[in-house]
Chain A
Amino acid sequence: MSHPPLAAEFTANRSRAHWHDKALWFVREKRDRMANSVPEWEQLREHASAIKMHTVSQLPLYLEQFERNALALGVHVHWAETAEDHNRIVLEILQRHSVKRIVKSKSMLTEECHLNPFLEKNGIEVVDTDLGERIVQLRNEPPSHIVLPAIHIRKEEVGECFHEHLGTEKGASDPAYLTEAARGHLRQKFCQADAGITGVNFAIAETGGIVVCTNEGNADLGVSLPKVHIACMGIEKLIPRVSDLAVFLRLLARSATGQPITTYSSHFHGPRPGCELHVVLVDDGRSGIIQSSEFRRSLSCIRCGACMNTCPVYRRSGGHSYESTVPGPIGSILAPLKDSEKHSSLPFACSLCGSCTDVCPVKIDLHHQLLAMRGLLGQRRLIATSKKLSMKFVAGIMKRTWLFNLLGKFARLSLRVLPRFAIYHRFNPWGRQRELPEAPAKSFRQMYADRKSTASNPGDKSK
């Protein structure tokens, strides 16, 4: 399905769509207050952007440096060209250790690779340990937001879900009570797990280490008990230096949730004694994006979700309306880069307001990329024929002033004389909830000409 019908479905329940919009706007406002508390905020964004641009321009160097340093720390480094390779590599590690149960913290990369169903098919129990992710996992649906996976679900629905799966009291919906129940349930899972999988927020070339940020402590708990830690990352997560972390950690949580920093910012530089740490470096199309001058900057994304929180369309249409692992503005670039045919409606699920570009902590020119993506879809003939034809038609008119004048006059006249039913009908989506403009008798150019001719005397104020 394309975005508009799914969005229409979401907005049809107006009070729920408003509730969703307000929840995210609340996060956006928290972000504003946090950004405002840092005088050098805009400078940090500049630095973050420059670091990312620099890194991608020398990525082979930094990847090799990272690998060298990681190997020296006793980390196993794996390279995966595709999502399938990534999944196979993870499975092989798990099978080598006879792993039956894993706990996993949030990783958009593993979502992108559809790791969970793959491992489950191979007989491994996968438990997502981030509370929001656990909720959507139990409900058997994908996350609707990259930072707030269950933002679309009401507490009563979480209550029902937990009643069914965790045996909480029927009808209970108090977030504190439900969180406590999840804590107890997931503690068991943490203690039983044979391996922990995490994503990676930043990988430091200079040291060969990785940084993982969470508020719940689930990533850390998940990898500090079992003997195997597998960290999965896209190759764009590299940063050159430790000192770069200062910039990114100052921006990340403030942009994401309006916190000064995440509760836990953990730096992993090698395995625990007698244990193993694996890092899987995944390409899965990223090297292709690097080659594109127009879309390269989308790889700067640090997955804070701020563009979703601020997007007036995302807030009102919900994450699932995008039908892609990463929804919202950044997802509407990344998804068509992966499969432009399947996701061809996403770059148009945008009013080009530019709020995403202004909120982005790494200064990705999101709305310009969305516009460029529309052009790319046009080149690939993935724009609806009706739209393409009507644009050709209108452009044809606009190339001829006389025709423009004539048809303009005709349109104004039609609006003035036609009965309402001839204008407002089901083929006029503009008129479903809106009036068309009141058509004037004369165009501007007529009025301007009239005025010039009547006022062309010495009293003319236009001198």
Chain B
Amino acid sequence: MSSASKNSAAREAILRRVRAALPQSTPLPELPASGPWQTFEDPTTRFREVLESVGGLMVRVPDVGAADAWLRDFEPWKKSATRLTVIPGLGDSTLDLNSIDDPHALEHVGFAVLKGHFGVAENAAVWVTDADVRHRVLYFIPQHMALAIPASQIVNNMHEAYGRIQVGGYPFSGFISGPSKTADIEQSLVIGAHGARSLVVFLIEEW
């Protein structure tokens, strides 16, 4: 049997067995974006507090220029030999992303400045998509990372978050909350597991 016909035979067999004794259908709950969900008087403050609790840093600045000035004084940025930005005027790039075809070439990126779409106050997650970078690995491979979002773009909770995005529209999209971390050795929290060792989220007021 070819693997295609094996696959369709398995498919039929599984679906047949699942259909064999299905329970009575129960309703699917309504989940409106603005339901009885937790909101915050000041979502930005909550976002900052939660981000700090997960090891990240929020920096609120009036414009891109101010973010750039802040970044150039930031130790990890200053120490990174290989730097990359996708936001004009916020940091600079030491390599040309558009000339890179193989993502392995990004192995040594020390710092990347990338675009986030919005933040979620309840968990400090920032929504990112691969429409904003040529290689999605950039969200995971740099030693340090900054995400910039417009300061007005903080939603309260995940229901509001999913209410405003087209998840299926991007091969890759996701939420990033803080730098990479692990507690797999005796429950001791260590920041910088495989991904970024630090995460700065810029909230830019005039963008």
A and B are partners in one complex rather than unrelated chains? yes
* A287/B17 in contact, CB under 8 A: yes
Question: Between A and B, how many residue pairs show CB distances below 8 Å?
Answer: 261
Q: At the interface, yes or no: A111 with Cβ under 8 Å from chain B?
A: no
Q: Would you call A154 and B186 a contact (CB within 8 A)?
A: yes
Within 8 A of A (CB), among B153-188: 157-159, 161-163, 167-188
Decide if A79 touches B195 in the complex (CB within 8 Å): no
A63 touches B10 (CB 8 A): no
A244→B31 contact, CB < 8 A: yes
Closest to A34 in B: B123
Q: Decide: B171 and A269 in contact? CB cutoff 8 A.
A: yes
Q: Quick one: CB contact mask for B7-38 with A, threshold 8 Å, 1 for yes?
A: 11011011101111111111111010100111
**Max chain A Cβ within 10 angstroms of own Cβ: one of B169, B181, B190:** B190
B195 contacts across to A, CB distance below 8 A = 216-217, 220-221, 263-264
Q: Indicate the size class of the contact surface on chain B.
A: 35 or more
A9-61 residues with Cβ-Cβ distance < 8 A to B are 23, 26-27, 38-40, 43, 46-47, 50-51, 53-54, 56-60
Which chain A residue lies CB-closest to B50? A260
B192 and A183 contact, CB distance less than 8 A: yes
Interface status of B118 (Cβ within 8 A of chain A): no
Give the shortest distance, in Å, between A53 (CB) and chain B (any CB).
5
Q: Is the CB of A217 within 8 A of B173?
A: no
Point out the residue from B20, B53, B137 that lies within 8 Å of A224, measured CB to CB. B137
What residue in chain B is nearest A38 (Cβ atoms)? B38
Flag if A269 contacts B190 (CB, 8 Å): no
The 0/1 profile, CB within 8 Å of B marked 1, for residues 247-264 of chain A is 101100000010111111
A355 within 8 A of B: no
Output the least CB separation between B62 and chain A (Å): 28
- Chain A, residue nearest B165 (CB): A242
**Do B185 and A242 have beta carbons less than 8 Å apart?**
no
- How far in angstroms is the closest Cβ of chain A from B111? 16
- Report B-chain residues with C-beta under 8 Å of the C-beta of A249: 158, 175
- Is A155's CB under 8 angstroms from B184's CB? no
The answer to whether B188 touches A175, judged by C-beta atoms less than 8 angstroms apart, is yes
Are B38 and A176 neighbours in the complex by a CB distance under 8 Å?
no
Does A64 sit at the interface, judged by CB under 8 A? yes
- Contact between B125 and A296, CB atoms less than 8 A apart: no
| Residue of A69, A92, A246 with highest tally of chain B CB at under 10 A | A246
Is A150 at the interface (CB under 8 A from chain B)? Answer: yes
User: What residues on A are CB-neighbors of B148 within 8 Å?
Assistant: none
Known: A43-B36, A242-B162. A263 touches B185 (CB 8 A): no
> Is B60 close to A, CB under 8 A?
no
List A contacts of B130 (CB < 8 A).
272
Q: Is B184 within 8 A of A224, CB to CB?
A: no
Once bound together, how far apart are the Cα atoms of A257 and B175, in whole Å?
17
Which residue, of B54, B161, B182, B185, has the highest number of chain A Cβ atoms within 10 A? B185
Contact indicator B157/A250 (Cβ below 8 Å): yes
How far, in angstroms, from A405 to B139 measured CA to CA in the complex?
Answer: 74
For B134, the closest partner residue in chain A by CB is A273
- A190 to B194 CA separation, bound complex (whole angstroms): 10
Whether A268 lies near B194 (C-beta < 8 A) is no
**In the complex the two chains form, is B26's CB within 8 Å of A269's CB?**
no
By a beta-carbon cutoff of 8 Å, the part of chain A in contact with chain B is: 23, 26-27, 38-40, 43, 46-47, 50-51, 53-54, 56-60, 63-64, 67, 69, 73, 78-81, 85, 89, 92, 129-132, 135, 148-151, 153-155, 158, 175-176, 178-180, 183, 186-187, 190-191, 204, 206-209, 215-218, 220-221, 224-225, 235, 240-247, 249-250, 257, 259-272, 281, 283, 287-288, 290-291, 293, 296
Apart from A50-B29, A153-B185, A217-B140, 20 more pairs, CB < 8 Å: A54-B27, A57-B23, A60-B22, A63-B18, A79-B7, A148-B183, A207-B167, A207-B168, A209-B168, A217-B180, A220-B137, A221-B141, A224-B172, A225-B103, A250-B122, A263-B178, A264-B180, A264-B195, A287-B20, A296-B23
13 A–B contacts from the bound complex (CB under 8 Å): A43-B36, A50-B29, A57-B24, A175-B185, A175-B190, A191-B107, A215-B182, A217-B180, A221-B137, A224-B140, A246-B158, A260-B124, A263-B176
